[in-house]
């Protein structure tokens, strides 16, 4: 069972993906970390984020060990990831890696922007998690405060809007709702309610698939 979860920044897709993975006993990959790690490699080497060749080379030589680095969660890394992730050669270099992960026996949960559209177009379950930009900014603002990276709410809202526009507006694997995805709007849902909505959908699908056999 492959569960593909997409959505914009701070929509709650990572929280949901982690909980679904535990619930169904599946491995989980937060694919945003791959793009963040490419951006971090460039920053650490003092290379320009706007250099597509350097970004592609960093993606090809990505060290999976760097995915645990706490700096990947920094505010600037989300922004930097969204710049390098628009480079087609970066996306191509990370695609096989993600598909191998998704091909694990028994399945996997992957979350990102293009899982249901590009990485796992045949996934039997696709969820698109969203929420208003204001609610997502409130969540990210709270989160950053908790990590000692306090920022003004308005600045966080600007970040979110800029990243939404860049991720949805790019040519390579833009953020779009897959035709067969179910949309869950979490603006008024806490993490528990979002989890229940998702398991209802997934369990319904599995029961339906069982009856067809």
Interface residues toward ligand CDP, by CB under 6 A: 7, 9-15, 31-32, 35-36, 78, 81-82, 85, 112-114, 139, 143, 163, 167, 186, 189-191, 194
Question: For residue 43, which of 58, 60, 56 has the smallest C-alpha distance?
Answer: 58
Nearest approach in angstroms of CB 169 to ligand CDP is 11
Report whether 4 belongs to an annotated binding site. no
Of residues 82, 92, 94, the one with CA closest to residue 50: 82
Beta strands in 35-187 (DSSP E): 108-112, 125-130, 182-185
Extract the tokens encoding 187.
């603006």
Q: Which is nearer to ligand CDP, 187 or 209 (CB)?
A: 187
CB-closest chain residue to ligand CDP: 32
Question: How far is it, in rounded angstroms, from Cα 182 to Cα 129?
Answer: 8
Our CB check for ligand CDP shows the closer of 54 and 83 to be 83
The answer to whether the annotation marks 126 as part of a ligand binding site is no
The β-bridge partners of 185 are 130
Q: Minimum CB separation from ligand CDP for residue 60, in Å?
A: 17
Q: Are 201 and 23 in contact (CB under 8 A)?
A: no
Residues 6+ apart with CB under 8 A from 76: none
* Cα gap 98→82, rounded to integer Å: 18
Question: Quick one: 166 or 209, whose CB is closer to ligand CDP?
Answer: 166
Do 101 and 108 contact (CB within 8 A), yes or no? yes
Strands (E), 65-151: 108-112, 125-130
10 is in an annotated binding site: yes
Q: Is 14 annotated as a binding residue?
A: yes
Query: Least Å distance between CB 1 and ligand CDP?
Result: 19
Query: Least distance (Å) from ligand CDP to the CB of residue 61?
Result: 18
Instruction: Compare residues 169 and 209 and give the one whose CB is closer to ligand CDP.
Output: 169
| Residue 141: CB minimum distance to ligand CDP, A | 10
The whole-angstrom separation of Cα 15 and Cα 174 is 22
Nearer to ligand CDP, 22 or 209 (CB): 22
> Residue 13 annotated as binding?
yes
Is the CB of 107 or the CB of 114 nearer to ligand CDP? 114
CB of 43 to ligand CDP, least distance (A): 14
Q: Which residues are annotated as a binding site for ATP?
A: 7-15
């Amino acid at each position: 069972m492959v569960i593909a979860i997409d959505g914009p920044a701070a929509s709650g897709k990572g929280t949901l993906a982690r909980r679904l993975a535990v619930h169904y006993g599946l491995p989980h990959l937060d694919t945003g970390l791959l793009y963040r790690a490419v951006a971090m490699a460039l920053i650490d080497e003092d290379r320009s984020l706007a250099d597509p060749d350097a970004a592609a080379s960093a993606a090809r030589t990505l060290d999976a060990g760097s995915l645990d680095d706490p700096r990947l969660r920094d505010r600037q890394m989300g922004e930097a990831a969204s710049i390098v992730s628009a480079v087609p050669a970066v996306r191509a270099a990370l695609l096989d890696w993600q598909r191998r992960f998704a091909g694990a026996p028994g399945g996997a949960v992957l979350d990102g922007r293009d899982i249901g559209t590009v990485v796992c177009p045949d996934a039997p379950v696709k969820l698109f998690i969203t929420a208003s930009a204001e609610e997502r900014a409130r969540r990210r603002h709270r989160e950053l405060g908790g990590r000692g990276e306090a920022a003004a709410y308005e600045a966080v809202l600007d970040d979110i809007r800029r990243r939404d526009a860049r991720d949805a507006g790019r040519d390579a694997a833009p953020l779009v709702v897959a035709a067969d995805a179910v949309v869950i709007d979490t603006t008024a849902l806490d993490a528990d309610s979002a989890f229940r909505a998702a398991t209802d959908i997934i369990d319904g699908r599995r029961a339906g698939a069982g009856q067809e056999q």
